[in-house]
Protein backbone atom coordinates (compact mmCIF):
# COMPACT_ATOMS: atom_id res chain seq x y z
CA UNK A 1 0.00 0.00 0.00
CA UNK A 2 1.39 3.41 -0.95
CA UNK A 3 1.14 7.07 0.09
CA UNK A 4 -1.20 7.67 -2.90
CA UNK A 5 -3.86 5.60 -1.12
CA UNK A 6 -3.73 7.81 2.00
CA UNK A 7 -3.82 10.99 -0.13
CA UNK A 8 -6.88 9.67 -1.95
CA UNK A 9 -8.69 9.40 1.41
CA UNK A 10 -7.55 12.65 3.01
CA UNK A 11 -6.83 14.96 0.07
CA UNK A 12 -3.74 16.93 -0.84
CA UNK A 13 -4.36 20.17 1.01
CA UNK A 14 -1.35 21.24 3.10
CA UNK A 15 -1.14 24.22 5.44
CA UNK A 16 2.08 25.92 4.43
CA UNK A 17 3.86 29.21 5.07
CA UNK A 18 6.65 31.27 3.53
CA UNK A 19 10.04 31.53 5.30
CA UNK A 20 9.34 35.12 6.38
CA UNK A 21 6.19 34.10 8.26
CA UNK A 22 6.51 35.01 11.94
CA UNK A 23 6.77 32.19 14.48
CA UNK A 24 3.68 33.62 16.23
CA UNK A 25 1.70 33.33 13.00
CA UNK A 26 2.85 29.72 12.57
CA UNK A 27 1.50 29.08 16.10
CA UNK A 28 -1.87 30.56 15.03
CA UNK A 29 -1.92 28.30 11.95
CA UNK A 30 -1.29 25.21 14.10
CA UNK A 31 -4.14 26.21 16.42
CA UNK A 32 -6.62 27.40 13.78
CA UNK A 33 -6.26 24.30 11.60
CA UNK A 34 -5.83 21.85 14.49
CA UNK A 35 -2.61 20.45 12.99
CA UNK A 36 0.83 19.49 14.30
CA UNK A 37 3.14 21.01 11.68
CA UNK A 38 3.36 23.76 9.08
CA UNK A 39 5.46 23.11 5.96
CA UNK A 40 7.62 26.07 4.90
CA UNK A 41 7.79 26.59 1.13
CA UNK A 42 9.23 29.11 -1.34
CA UNK A 43 7.29 30.95 -4.09
CA UNK A 44 7.50 27.84 -6.31
CA UNK A 45 5.97 25.69 -3.57
CA UNK A 46 9.27 23.85 -3.02
CA UNK A 47 9.79 22.55 0.51
CA UNK A 48 12.25 24.68 2.48
CA UNK A 49 11.57 23.50 6.00
CA UNK A 50 9.06 22.38 8.60
CA UNK A 51 7.91 23.83 11.92
CA UNK A 52 6.09 21.46 14.26
CA UNK A 53 4.56 21.80 17.73
CA UNK A 54 7.76 20.32 19.10
CA UNK A 55 9.79 23.11 17.50
CA UNK A 56 7.49 25.71 19.06
CA UNK A 57 8.01 24.19 22.51
CA UNK A 58 11.79 24.18 21.94
CA UNK A 59 11.83 27.75 20.63
CA UNK A 60 9.81 29.07 23.58
CA UNK A 61 11.81 27.08 26.14
CA UNK A 62 15.21 28.12 24.80
CA UNK A 63 14.55 31.63 23.47
CA UNK A 64 11.43 32.85 25.23
CA UNK A 65 8.36 34.65 23.82
CA UNK A 66 10.51 37.23 21.95
CA UNK A 67 11.04 34.58 19.25
CA UNK A 68 7.33 34.77 18.36
CA UNK A 69 8.00 37.92 16.33
CA UNK A 70 10.92 36.41 14.42
CA UNK A 71 10.62 34.73 10.98
CA UNK A 72 10.26 30.94 10.97
CA UNK A 73 13.25 30.73 8.60
CA UNK A 74 15.64 31.03 11.54
CA UNK A 75 13.90 28.36 13.62
CA UNK A 76 12.55 25.70 11.25
CA UNK A 77 14.05 22.28 10.57
CA UNK A 78 15.74 22.58 7.17
CA UNK A 79 16.65 19.00 6.30
CA UNK A 80 13.14 17.78 5.66
CA UNK A 81 12.57 14.12 4.84
CA UNK A 82 9.98 14.06 2.06
CA UNK A 83 8.34 11.21 0.19
CA UNK A 84 6.52 10.74 -3.11
CA UNK A 85 3.10 9.19 -3.52
CA UNK A 86 4.84 5.97 -4.62
CA UNK A 87 6.54 5.37 -1.25
CA UNK A 88 5.07 2.56 0.81
CA UNK A 89 3.25 3.23 4.06
CA UNK A 90 5.64 0.79 5.76
CA UNK A 91 8.57 3.00 4.64
CA UNK A 92 6.85 6.04 6.19
CA UNK A 93 6.34 4.15 9.48
CA UNK A 94 9.99 3.15 9.51
CA UNK A 95 11.15 6.76 8.94
CA UNK A 96 8.80 8.16 11.59
CA UNK A 97 9.88 5.56 14.13
CA UNK A 98 13.64 5.73 13.44
CA UNK A 99 13.88 9.51 13.11
CA UNK A 100 11.29 10.35 15.78
CA UNK A 101 9.08 12.74 13.84
CA UNK A 102 5.39 12.57 13.05
CA UNK A 103 5.05 14.32 9.70
CA UNK A 104 6.32 13.61 6.18
CA UNK A 105 5.48 16.06 3.37
CA UNK A 106 4.80 14.60 -0.07
CA UNK A 107 6.67 16.17 -3.00
CA UNK A 108 5.98 15.68 -6.70
CA UNK A 109 8.47 17.14 -9.20
CA UNK A 110 10.03 19.03 -6.31
CA UNK A 111 6.74 20.74 -5.36
CA UNK A 112 4.72 20.21 -2.18
CA UNK A 113 1.83 17.87 -3.03
CA UNK A 114 0.47 16.60 0.31
CA UNK A 115 1.45 15.58 3.83
CA UNK A 116 1.14 12.39 5.84
CA UNK A 117 1.06 12.48 9.64
CA UNK A 118 1.51 9.63 12.09
CA UNK A 119 -2.26 9.94 12.73
CA UNK A 120 -2.98 9.21 9.06
CA UNK A 121 -0.69 6.16 9.18
CA UNK A 122 -2.31 4.79 12.36
CA UNK A 123 -5.80 5.36 10.90
CA UNK A 124 -4.78 3.43 7.78
CA UNK A 125 -3.26 0.56 9.78
CA UNK A 126 -6.41 0.26 11.95
CA UNK A 127 -8.64 0.16 8.86
CA UNK A 128 -6.44 -2.59 7.37
CA UNK A 129 -6.51 -4.63 10.61
CA UNK A 130 -10.32 -4.30 10.87
CA UNK A 131 -10.84 -5.35 7.26
CA UNK A 132 -8.53 -8.38 7.71
CA UNK A 133 -10.39 -9.40 10.90
CA UNK A 134 -13.76 -9.09 9.12
CA UNK A 135 -12.49 -11.28 6.24
CA UNK A 136 -11.22 -13.84 8.73
CA UNK A 137 -14.60 -13.93 10.57
CA UNK A 138 -16.39 -14.41 7.25
CA UNK A 139 -14.01 -17.22 6.29
CA UNK A 140 -14.55 -19.00 9.63
CA UNK A 141 -18.37 -18.50 9.51
CA UNK A 142 -18.45 -19.96 6.00
CA UNK A 143 -16.96 -23.13 7.55
P1 LIG B 1 7.13 16.15 14.91
O2 LIG B 1 7.24 14.85 15.65
O3 LIG B 1 6.65 15.96 13.50
O4 LIG B 1 6.34 17.15 15.68
O5 LIG B 1 8.59 16.74 14.73
C6 LIG B 1 9.65 16.54 15.64
C7 LIG B 1 10.89 17.25 15.11
O8 LIG B 1 11.23 16.72 13.81
C9 LIG B 1 10.72 18.76 14.88
O10 LIG B 1 11.97 19.39 15.11
C11 LIG B 1 10.34 18.88 13.41
O12 LIG B 1 10.73 20.11 12.80
C13 LIG B 1 11.14 17.75 12.81
N14 LIG B 1 10.44 17.14 11.67
C15 LIG B 1 9.12 16.88 11.54
N16 LIG B 1 8.85 16.30 10.37
C17 LIG B 1 10.04 16.19 9.73
C18 LIG B 1 10.45 15.67 8.46
N19 LIG B 1 9.59 15.09 7.61
N20 LIG B 1 11.77 15.74 8.14
C21 LIG B 1 12.66 16.27 9.00
N22 LIG B 1 12.35 16.77 10.20
C23 LIG B 1 11.05 16.74 10.57
pLDDT at site 133: 87
pLDDT band at 56; cut points 50, 70, 90: very high
Measured distance CA(97)–CA(111) in Å, rounded: 25
Model confidence pLDDT, tens digit, residues 104-128: 999 999 999 999 999 999 999 998 8
CA of 77 to the centre of ligand 1 (A): 7
Ligand 1 centroid, distance to 37 Cα (angstroms): 8
The pLDDT tens digits of the residues spanning 82-105 come to 999 999 999 999 999 999 999 999
pLDDT, tens digit, for every residue of 41-55?
Answer: 999 999 999 999 999
Q: Which residues' Cβ are closer than 6 Å to ligand 1? A: 36-37, 50, 52-55, 77, 79-81, 101-104
Query: How many beta carbons lie within 10 A of that of residue 2, not counting itself?
Result: 17
pLDDT at 109: 93
- Work out which ligand 1 atom sits closest to the CA atom of 79: 21
Q: Tell how far the Cα of 127 is from the centroid of ligand 1, in angstroms.
A: 25
Instruction: Compute the residue count for the chain.
Output: 143
Query: Where is average pLDDT lowest: 27-31, 93-97, 110-114, 132-136?
Result: 132-136
Q: Which of 16, 17, 52, 92 is the pocket-test mutation for ligand 1 (most atoms within 8 Å of CB)?
A: 52
Q: 43 C-alpha vs ligand 1 centroid, how far in Å?
A: 22
Q: What dihedral angle (degrees, nearest 10) is formed by the CA atoms of 17, 7, 96, 84?
A: -80
Instruction: Please check whether residue 71 is in contact with residue 21, taking contact to mean a CB–CB distance below 8 angstroms.
Output: yes
Instruction: Give pTM, 2 decimals.
Output: 0.92
Task: Sort 82 into a burial class: Cβ within 10 Å, 0-12 / 13-18 / 19+.
Answer: middle
Amino acid sequence: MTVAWILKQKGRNVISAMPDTLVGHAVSLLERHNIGAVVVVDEQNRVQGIVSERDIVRILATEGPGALVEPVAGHMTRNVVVCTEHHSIDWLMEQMTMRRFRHIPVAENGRLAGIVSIGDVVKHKLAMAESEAAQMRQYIAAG
